[in-house]
Amino acid sequence: MKLGLGTVQFGLDYGVSNKDGKVPYNEIQKIIDFAQQKNIQVLDTAHAYGSSETVLGSVLPEKNNFDIVTKTPQCAPILTKHDAQLLEDSFIQSLARLRKTTIYGLLVHNADDLLKTDAIRLWEKMVEFKERGMVKKIGVSVYTRHQLEAILDMYTPDLVQLPINIFDQTFYTLLPALKRQGIEIHARSVFLQGLLLMNLNELPPYFEPIRQHIEQYHIYITNHGLSPLQAALRFCDDISELDVVLVGVCSVEQLAQIWQACNDTTEGKIDFAHCAVTDEKIIKPSLWNLQ
């Protein structure tokens, strides 16, 4: 399995299980150093991730082999030539913050932007970036099947980032079709913002409606000799269509644990299909109400 590093925690307080907040600069340096040692190449950031781009630009060595993927800011309801210019200005700013003249990937962060009136202006500008050598691959970060299916009817992305984990298997059946089209697939939310890794006694009250499901899930993976971390990564490792599995961490120790778990192998394929949850209020963090 090819790991990638999500960096939202470098710029924002993020994650239901994150008790430490934004990662300190010196810890980020240790995380990047570890990633470089272990050949974890993909770094995923975004315009919306607070100071993440700036931090990466300052912490990365001048010569490195990282493949950086960033994302666009949200666009206006109806796109004009002015918005296309704003996108270019924003992307140039991202490159400056990252201290790069070219990066690996640029994704539309809000997939609905590609479904708006005159969204072709946005896509054509991204194609232009690619033709100018500013970015190698362009694509989109999606949240729903509807978004992805509608976008594929109109555009041909090089790269798609999507959520997939043991509870959220929404996109699972679409992955073979994406690979047949030659689309690179990056998986995010593989720990469901840490929900899959939490102890039951730490479970926020919001998730009480599926407590029994989570309990049964923990029994199931324990019977297979897997820790929650190993199970979450094993699920992704068994999906051959995934090119990169993005993980977010708050410390170098967490990244080392993930790296070790990726290398802890067990015999045979494990069926996680029955572990899926269909309730969007559970599998879509944007809908969570944890107050």
CATH code for position 124: 3.20.20.100
Computed over every residue of the chain, the mean pLDDT equals 92
d(CA 7, CA 50): 10
The percentage of residues in the chain with a pLDDT greater than 70, rounded to a whole number, is: 96
Question: Is residue 157 over pLDDT 70?
Answer: yes
Residue 181 has φ and ψ, to the nearest 5°, of -90, 0
Q: Give the span between the Cα atoms of 10 and 23, in whole angstroms.
A: 5
- 16, pLDDT greater than 60: no
Find the mean pLDDT for residues 214-226: 96
Kindly state the average pLDDT of the residues 241-258: 96
pLDDT score of 265: 66
Q: Check pLDDT > 60 for residue 17.
A: no
For residues 63 and 254, what is the distance between their CA atoms, to the nearest angstrom?
Answer: 25
Number of folded domains that form the chain: 1
Average pLDDT over residues 58-87: 88
The structure's pTM equals 0.94
- pLDDT score recorded for residue 13: 58
Cα gap 195→189, rounded to integer Å: 10
Residues 117-127 pLDDT 10s: 889 999 999 99
Residues of the domain holding 221: 3-287
Query: 107, 161 in Cβ contact below 8 A?
Result: yes
Q: Quote the CA–CA distance of 222 and 12 in Å, as a whole number.
A: 33
Distances in Å between the Cα of 187 and the Cα atoms of 59, 102, 130, 200, 203 are: 25, 23, 23, 25, 24
Tens digits of per-residue pLDDT, 18-29? 455 689 999 999
